[in-house]
């Protein structure tokens, strides 16, 4: 289809067509106008993989390590490659726009979507996001920076008012967007759900028009977060181009009325339409047909890249006595709740059905040449583990039958409308469609057969958006139809898990049936809750056991083993959209298990998987510790590559790990209170706070060890003469000589910090202003260059002038890296100057 003449097309559009174009038609598509050759544009979630158009029973996709894992690589070249593969995955799914990257600032370890963002620092996050977006857009796919801005918690996320100073907004929360835009002006930006200083971002003209468009010179498309539009006239006037998803709540007839009554001038609506048409032109060269078939890639080279990223994101936190790398020839005991599950992504809109997953146990077993033994040690599930993969259909397939009816099971004459075969016993039906289903009200029987391996009492659990009854051989075990309580599952739409139990015999086969009714069958009051379609279901089961029984078996195994690795951490149940963690703790029983295993074998290696920091009360006992995040498809192989030394760890923490939650600067001001959250820590987020108050962390921002050693020396610093116009750049160039002084190849990350002189206002002790990663063979030496712009390296936001202030004085430069040692230099700002823009 040819490029549109945008101005001519706007002139030819009717008012009704213009209004159609500024809202979605369904969950993922924009409107088309066939008579003017305007096609529909498809969008897809993309923080760590391109899901396509279906949450329910979707086409599998590549799942990348979560964003904090990508942030831990500190590698812009690698993020560029990740972006390129993301673009190719989007094309395979028929998507023109990837809804990512997410680059919000992690104020607190508790943020439910913390794993979706790269870092606590805007320079690191912005640089990584910029190169990631370049990779996406090189493929012709549109990237979408989100969530603009201050979407830093899940509690009352649609309503909360983020109250902060203009200085904190500029120096901390806009900073990742600022840096990303300097590197890649993405085609799209998504607004945040929340208010900023009293006004929802989707109708905040200061943020959307004055800063984003006028000051930063950006001219792409602004879309709302899903159901994050709250007005008709105000959002259009402020600069929100398109309301998502469809069908519209705020545009349509309401917008037509606003235009006809001069609440919204038609020329303002034309500007919103212009940005939609510009996006159509941007993605037109892709040649993706409307309603394109969704396909899979899963190529060997993609798998290799995913494995490389997973390995390069693993942070070596401790390695006393050089316990790691393990010896492949020796036997190994694998212990822990995360060993035989794939914690491959966080929950919510970032989640997807992966092509495949590799568990840590599979990764270790695949490389070990010695005996591999396993002990559970503890369980990490919040709700009972999904049972779908343990069921069989009546014809012997793994999984269960999903049968849709027009009436409940009590009606003997009901009609079977549709039958599917599923494996996962969790499903969110918001995008499930069938021609025979005419409304959100219908009923589903899910039937499979379970043959337990052990005798015992088995607990069964049911979570629904709707109603559900679970039966075992016709006996009602769980009734989740009455007195329902709203929980955190399914974006806060689901019930609390209701449980029941039954004694089962090993080897005997039992018929499991979940009788499910969609959301209209529930009597929960959902006013004030965003309802995503007809409902969802989750059913799980596990043999009942005691914490002591599990730990004792793990301790016994660890005490006799040559090599021991403990896999623990969180999962998508604990870190998920729609729900903030109540604390930083690992799941119940985990800390006790780790501590006792370390008592039994002090050389046990601990591997933690989480998207954000956790408490580690046993940390002084462990000699060797890895932080492995949520690792995507290849997470288990990536971890095993590091454990066995195939890959020398080079990752650095993109987040500060506090000793305890109370040490975090947002501790007193996290969560909504009466509809608002005060950003009381101001600019002192993350390391800026810990440095300023001289408070030790468990592990600091930027920390990460290696199996080799490096020296850093010969720092030289050059600056260009100051110009009349700060837009000329005035680069500061720092060069450092780096040598690999160890016996194995490795990568060093240099971190460039700038320390300001005393100025008019309080400032952080130091701030990250640049970084560079270099790979070195044993004995190899390289000169590494880091470049930062003087105005960005020296400025603070002056609220009186409403400008950045680069204040005169002598600034210190520090360069750090793996291990101890700081190189220092100085440069001068000769006169104070003020500036705006990127």
Residue 446 maps to which CATH number? 2.60.120.260
Q: Give the three-class secondary structure for 107.
A: coil
Number of domains in the chain: 3
Please count the other Cβ atoms lying within 10 Å of the Cβ belonging to residue 692.
16
Do 637 and 342 contact (CB within 8 A), yes or no?
no
Residues 633, 590, single domain; the answer is: yes
Residue 673 lies in a domain: yes
Measured torsion, CA atoms of residues 783, 784, 790, 794, in degrees rounded to the nearest 10: -110
Residue 46 has a pLDDT of 83
End-to-end CA distance of the chain: 35
Do 531 and 520 contact (CB within 8 A), yes or no?
no
Residues 592, 477, single domain; the answer is: no
What is the β-pairing status of strands 161-163 and 142-148?
A: unpaired
Do 66 and 345 contact (CB within 8 A), yes or no?
yes
Residue 680 lies in a domain: yes
Tell me which H or E stretch contains 183. Answer: helix 175-183
State how far the Cα of 225 lies from the Cα of 147, in Å rounded to an integer: 8
pTM of the predicted model as reported, rounded to 2 decimal places: 0.96
Q: Give the three-class secondary structure for 785.
A: strand
Residue 455 has a pLDDT of 96
What is the β-pairing status of strands 161-163 and 676-678?
A: parallel
Strand order in the sheet with 142-148: 43-45, 97-99, 142-148, 188-191, 221-223
Residue 257 lies in a domain: no
Residues 107-123 pLDDT 10s: 999 999 999 999 999 99
Largest CA distance in the chain: 87
Do 196 and 205 contact (CB within 8 A), yes or no?
no
Q: Of 592, 586, 637, 581, give the one whose Cα is nearest residue 609.
A: 586
Do 332 and 561 contact (CB within 8 A), yes or no?
yes
Q: Which tokens in the block code for residue 592?
A: 């006790």
∠ CA 49-53-57, rounded to 5°:
90
State how far the Cα of 99 lies from the Cα of 108, in Å rounded to an integer: 23
HSE (side-chain half, CA atoms, 13 Å) at 461: 19
Last residue of a domain, one of 506, 533, 560: 533
Residues 344, 398, single domain; the answer is: no
pLDDT below 50 — which residues of the chain?
none
Cα-flanking dihedrals φ and ψ of residue 381, to 5°?
-75, 150
Last residue of a domain, one of 533, 565, 587: 533
Residue 744 lies in a domain: yes
Residues 642, 760, single domain; the answer is: no
Q: Give the three-class secondary structure for 448.
A: strand
Residues 781, 803, single domain; the answer is: yes
Residue 119 lies in a domain: no
Residue 456 lies in a domain: yes
Catalytic site positions? 225
Residue 740 lies in a domain: yes
Residues 225-276 pLDDT 10s: 999 999 999 999 999 999 999 999 999 999 999 999 999 999 999 999 999 9
Residue 756 maps to which CATH number? 2.60.40.10
Residue range(s) defining the domain that contains residue 470: 388-424+433-533
Residue 529 has a pLDDT of 57
What is the β-pairing status of strands 416-422 and 400-405?
A: antiparallel
Q: Give the three-class secondary structure for 527.
A: coil
Category of 604 on φ-ψ map: left (φ > 0), alpha (ψ -120 to 50) or beta:
beta
Q: Of 370, 357, 327, 335, give the one whose Cα is nearest residue 643.
A: 327
Residues 523, 613, single domain; the answer is: no
Residues 477, 394, single domain; the answer is: yes
Residue 575 lies in a domain: yes
Residues 153-191 pLDDT 10s: 999 999 999 999 999 999 999 999 999 999 999 999 999
Residues 527, 393, single domain; the answer is: yes
Residues 473, 520, single domain; the answer is: yes
Residues 408, 346, single domain; the answer is: no
Residues 587, 452, single domain; the answer is: no
Do 398 and 392 contact (CB within 8 A), yes or no?
yes
Cα-flanking dihedrals φ and ψ of residue 482, to 5°?
-130, 150
Residues 528, 553, single domain; the answer is: no
Last residue of a domain, one of 688, 718, 739: 688
Residue 526 has a pLDDT of 66
């Amino acid at each position: 289809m040819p490029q549109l003449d945008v101005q001519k097309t706007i002139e030819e559009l009717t008012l009704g067509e213009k209004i159609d174009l500024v809202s979605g038609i369904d969950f993922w598509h924009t409107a088309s106008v066939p008579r003017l050759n305007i096609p529909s544009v498809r969008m897809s979630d993309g923080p760590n993989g391109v899901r396509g158009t279906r949450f329910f029973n979707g086409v599998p996709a590549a799942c990348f390590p979560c964003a904090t894992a990508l942030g831990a690589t500190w590698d812009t070249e690698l993020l560029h490659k990740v972006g390129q593969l993301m673009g190719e995955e989007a094309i395979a799914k028929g998507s023109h726009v990837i809804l990512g990257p997410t680059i919000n600032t992690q104020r607190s370890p508790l943020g439910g979507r913390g794993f979706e963002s790269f870092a606590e620092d805007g320079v690191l996050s912005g640089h990584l996001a910029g190169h990631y977006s370049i990779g996406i857009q090189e493929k012709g796919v549109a990237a979408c920076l989100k969530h603009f801005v201050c979407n830093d918690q899940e509690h009352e996320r649609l309503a909360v008012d983020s109250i902060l100073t203009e200085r904190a907004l500029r120096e901390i929360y806009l900073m990742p967007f600022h840096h990303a835009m300097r590197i890649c002006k993405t085609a799209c930006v998504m607004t945040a759900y929340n208010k900023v200083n009293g006004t929802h971002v989707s109708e905040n003209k200061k943020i959307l028009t004055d800063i984003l468009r006028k000051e930063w010179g950006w001219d792409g498309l602004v879309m709302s977060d899903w159901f994050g539009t709250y007005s008709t006239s105000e959002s259009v006037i402020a600069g929100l181009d398109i309301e998502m998803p469809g069908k519209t709540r705020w545009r349509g007839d309401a917008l037509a009325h606003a235009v006809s009554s001069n609440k919204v001038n038609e020329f303002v609506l034309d500007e919103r339409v212009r940005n939609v048409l510009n996006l159509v032109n941007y993605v037109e060269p892709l040649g993706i047909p409307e309603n394109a078939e969704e396909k899979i890639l899963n190529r060997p080279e993609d798998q290799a890249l995913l494995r490389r990223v997973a390995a390069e994101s693993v942070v070596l936190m401790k390695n006393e006595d050089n316990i790691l790398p393990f010896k492949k020839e020796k036997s190994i005991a694998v212990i822990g709740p995360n060993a035989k599950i794939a914690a491959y992504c966080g929950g919510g809109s970032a989640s997807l059905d992966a092509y495949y997953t590799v568990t840590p146990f599979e990764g270790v077993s695949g490389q070990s040449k010695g005996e591999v033994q396993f002990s559970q040690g503890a369980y990490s599930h919040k709700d009972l583990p999904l049972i779908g993969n343990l069921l069989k259909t009546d014809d012997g397939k793994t999984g269960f039958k999903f049968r849709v009816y027009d009436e409940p099971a009590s009606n003997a004459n009901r009609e079977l409308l549709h039958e599917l075969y599923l494996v996962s016993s969790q499903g969110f039906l918001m995008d499930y469609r069938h021609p025979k289903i005419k409304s959100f009200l219908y009923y589903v029987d899910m039937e499979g057969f379970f043959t337990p391996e052990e005798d015992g009492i088995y607990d069964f659990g049911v979570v629904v958006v709707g109603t559900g009854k679970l039966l075992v051989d016709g006996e009602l075990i769980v009734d989740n139809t009455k007195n329902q309580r709203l929980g955190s599952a399914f974006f806060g739409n689901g019930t609390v898990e209701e449980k029941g139990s039954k004694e089962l015999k090993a080897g005997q086969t039992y018929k499991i049936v979940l009788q499910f009714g969609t959301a209209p069958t529930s009597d929960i009051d959902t006013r004030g809750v965003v309802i995503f379609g007809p409902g969802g279901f989750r059913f799980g089961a596990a043999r009942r056991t005691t914490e002591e029984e599990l730990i004792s078996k793990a301790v016994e195994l660890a005490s006799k083993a040559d090599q021991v690795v403990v896999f623990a951490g969180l999962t998508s149940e604990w870190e998920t959209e729609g729900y903030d963690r109540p604390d930083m703790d690992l799941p119940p029983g985990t800390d006790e298990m780790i501590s006792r295993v370390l008592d039994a074998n002090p050389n046990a290696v601990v591997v933690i998987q989480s998207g954000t920091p956790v408490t580690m009360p046993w940390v002084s006992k462990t000699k060797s510790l890895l932080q492995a995040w949520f690792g995507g498809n290849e997470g288990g192989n990536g971890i095993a590559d590091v454990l066995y030394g195939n890959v020398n760890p080079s990752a650095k923490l993109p987040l500060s790990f506090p000793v305890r939650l109370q040490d975090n600067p947002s501790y007193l001001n996290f969560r909504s209170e009466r509809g608002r959250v005060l950003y009381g820590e101001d600019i002192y987020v993350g390391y800026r706070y810990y440095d300023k108050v001289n408070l030790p962390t468990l592990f600091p921002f930027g920390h990460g060890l290696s199996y080799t050693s490096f020296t850093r020396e010969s720092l030289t610093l050059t600056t260009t003469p100051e110009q009349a116009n700060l837009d000329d750049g005035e680069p500061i160039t720092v060069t450092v000589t780096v040598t690999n002084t160890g016996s194995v190849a490795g990568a060093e990350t240099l971190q460039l910090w700038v320390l300001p002189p005393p100025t008019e206002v309080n400032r952080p002790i130091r701030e990250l202003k640049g970084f560079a990663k270099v790979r070195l063979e044993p004995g190899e030496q390289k000169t590494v260059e880091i470049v930062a712009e003087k105005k960005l390296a020296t400025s603070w936001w002056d609220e009186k002038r409403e400008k950045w202030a680069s204040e005169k004085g002598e600034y210190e430069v520090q360069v750090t890296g793996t291990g101890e040692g700081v190189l220092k230099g100085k440069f001068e700002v000769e006169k104070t100057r003020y500036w705006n823009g990127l």
